[in-house]
Amino acid sequence: MTILGGKVALITGAAGNVGAATARAFLDAGAPVVLVDRAPARLREMYPNLRDSDQHMLAEGIDVSEPAAAAGLVRNVVSRFGRIDALVNTVGTYRGGKPVHEEDLETWDLLFGANLRTMLVMCRAVIPIMREGGGGRIVNVGARSALSASANSVAYSASKSAVLRLTEGLAQELKASNIAVNCVLPGTIDTPQNREAMPDADFSNWVAPEAVADVILFLASDEARAISGAAVPI
């Protein structure tokens, strides 16, 4: 597949379950990819064939919640490729199990930091580059729980709801700059971690990471050029 036509895609959280599936989908679609992860060597272990690639870039040890790190990453990407056509924000985490009045404030800080701040910081770093380049695509990974909260996981739902509001607002602000901003809202994703946490669940009803990646790929492509501000349930 070559539906991305060589467009440069920056994917955060590329060592995670959804991030890795998205990286594979974008590579198969012919995109030069910049794969980003906070760990210092995990990407080289996962993508040994990309270590010395001229077409792709592994950016390891990058904390995308820190503005200076994000700005440095973007400078390096632009220096190497000249542009950024797509930003995919997959960084995120989950915590739950306590009612609101018992949940530690540290958990709220963790979830808003991982699920919202990482996207906000990366969008702020990339948007000026996309505007200078004439446009681009931003895809954020939210969650179905952004639409309604459940007991004992309110902090998670609130952080993902903020991702939805960020997506909608950016879409309005950037439509005149030809930058489309959308998000995906997966249900429970079929990951080893979720299977371990919920061993008695019916895994057949869960969402494969590859299915999430397929929708992200579509939203980053020209086929979705008329879509912005959407929250796509998966």
Q: Which residues are part of the catalytic machinery? A: 156
Q: CA of 68: how far to CAs of 16, 65, 72, 148, 169, in Å? A: 23, 9, 6, 34, 24
CA 200 to CA 62: how far, in whole Å? 36
Compute φ and ψ for 144, nearest 5 degrees.
-60, -30
Alpha helices in the chain (DSSP H): 17-28, 42-46, 67-81, 105-112, 118-133, 154-174, 192-197, 209-220
Count the residues in the chain.
234
CA 77 to CA 172: how far, in whole Å? 26
Compute φ and ψ for 2, nearest 5 degrees.
-135, 40
- Which residues, in sequence order, are CB contacts of 60 under 8 Å at separation 6+? 37, 39, 40, 41, 42, 43, 44
